[in-house]
Amino acid sequence: PSAKNWDGTPLYFYKGVWYPVSGIRGALSFQQHFIARDTDIILASMPKSGTTWLKALAFSVVNRNIYSPTESPLLTTPPHDLVRFFEMDLYSKNQLPDLEQLPSPRIFSSHTHYESLPPSIRGSSCKIVYICRNPLDQLVSYFHFARKFKRENVKPLTSIDEGFDNICRGIQSYGPFWESVLGYWKASLERPDKVLFLKYEDLKEDITFNLKKLAEFLGLPFSEKEEKEGVIQEIAELCSFDNLKDLEVNRTGFFKSAGAPNSTFFRKAKVGDWCNDLSPSMAERFLKIVEEKLAGSGLSFKVSE
């Protein structure tokens, strides 16, 4: 281990990526062993960027002809159990999961950077959907998530100032932030049929437009009849923060692989909430670093409503 994460656990630097202790072995095993199918759908993100939301949305779009919104498994199962993480869950602790039995299309998720994905994912026609969030809200969300953990013999960081220098150097779970984002951003420009790049803030602003974009990208566009019948709105409501956070299944229970209660994946879901935790000078410093790293890429973020 060469650094500490915000929750006090070690981080490992491997081929340009900071892996948490819960993900390093799984990430290596995933990279070595996973064989993609052309029909697979991979949801990728930095932690705390809207992964849980994207899982609910993609699951609902893909399975909309199997379950009506009132019968959706999302009502009784946490999104992370319906769309499982590769490195932290399926491949963690040296497990070699049997994924052959799963019917197509399979939906998985990952925090692995584009460059570190298994060759069969980049080489096959499977689809990748990346969700990114502005770096200030992502890091504040991560801070609140990390400080909820109580681990034996580990002293978690208690103030946002303590880990901030590390964050500015890109040291966080699956960081550097800019490497993760840039890898998928460039891939989405080079291969728009393969990689869809979504922004959390855009989804908050116009979920209907973005659900249509997601469905079209996945080759499952909404028909006129579906649009008239309000299927898009039903999915948006089912997957909304207000709906998911109040479900019994998400208020209780524990997500073992992440070592976190299910409820920790639902906090405020606001754009611009960072201003309650970061001072203006911290925000300015971090934004300047991210902007320098992304210079010339054409990628920008909305940091307030």
Q: Does 268 bind ligand A3P (CB under 6 A)?
A: yes
Q: What is the amino acid identity at position 245?
A: K
Residue in the block written with tokens 């490992």: 12
Output 136 or 290, the one with its CB closest to ligand A3P: 136
In whole angstroms, what separates CA 293 from the centre of its chain? Answer: 21
Instruction: Give the list of residues 6+ apart from residue 120 with CB closer than 8 angstroms, or none.
Output: 34, 35, 36
Q: Are 174 and 111 in contact (CB under 8 A)?
A: yes
Own/partner pairs, 97-106, CB within 8 angstroms, 24+ separation: 99/34, 104/37, 104/39, 104/40, 105/39, 105/40, 105/41, 105/62, 106/37, 106/39, 106/40, 106/41
Output 186 or 245, the one with its CB closest to ligand A3P: 245
Output 122 or 147, the one with its CB closest to ligand A3P: 147
Q: HSE of 242 in the Cβ direction (CA atoms, 13 Å)?
A: 3
- State in angstroms the smallest separation of the CB of 104 from ligand A3P: 25
Output 57 or 99, the one with its CB closest to ligand A3P: 57
Residue in the block written with tokens 């500015």: 168
Q: Does 267 bind ligand A3P (CB under 6 A)?
A: yes
Q: Are 235 and 61 in contact (CB under 8 A)?
A: yes
Which amino acids are annotated catalytic? 111
Among 6, 108, 255, 265, binds ligand A3P (CB under 6 A): 265
Q: Does 179 bind ligand A3P (CB under 6 A)?
A: no
Segment contacting ligand A3P (CB under 6 A): 9-17, 44-52, 99-107, 229-237?
A: 44-52
Q: Does 196 bind ligand A3P (CB under 6 A)?
A: no
Segment contacting ligand A3P (CB under 6 A): 7-15, 42-50, 64-72, 281-289?
A: 42-50
Output 130 or 265, the one with its CB closest to ligand A3P: 265
Cα separation of 31 and 118, whole Å? 4
- Cα angle: 91, vertex 132, 81; to 5 degrees: 35
Kindly report the number of other CB atoms within 10 A of residue 292's CB atom: 9
Q: Does 269 bind ligand A3P (CB under 6 A)?
A: yes
Segment contacting ligand A3P (CB under 6 A): 14-22, 114-122, 183-191, 262-270?
A: 262-270
Residues contacting ligand A3P: total by CB under 6 A? 21
Q: HSE of 113 in the Cβ direction (CA atoms, 13 Å)?
A: 22
Q: Kindly give the residue spans of alpha helices, DSSP state H, lying in the chain.
A: 24-33, 51-62, 79-82, 119-123, 135-146, 160-168, 177-190, 200-205, 207-217, 224-229, 231-238, 241-246, 248-251, 280-294
Q: Does 67 bind ligand A3P (CB under 6 A)?
A: no
Output 88 or 126, the one with its CB closest to ligand A3P: 88
Segment contacting ligand A3P (CB under 6 A): 62-70, 150-158, 212-220, 263-271?
A: 263-271
Q: Does 144 bind ligand A3P (CB under 6 A)?
A: yes
* Ranges within 84-143 binding ligand A3P (CB under 6 A): 137, 141
* Ranges within 270-299 binding ligand A3P (CB under 6 A): 273
Q: Does 72 bind ligand A3P (CB under 6 A)?
A: no
Q: Does 49 bind ligand A3P (CB under 6 A)?
A: yes
Residues facing 154 on adjacent strands:
none
Q: What does the binding site for ligand A3P look like in residue numbers (CB under 6 A)?
A: 45, 47-53, 137, 141, 144, 239-241, 244, 265-269, 273
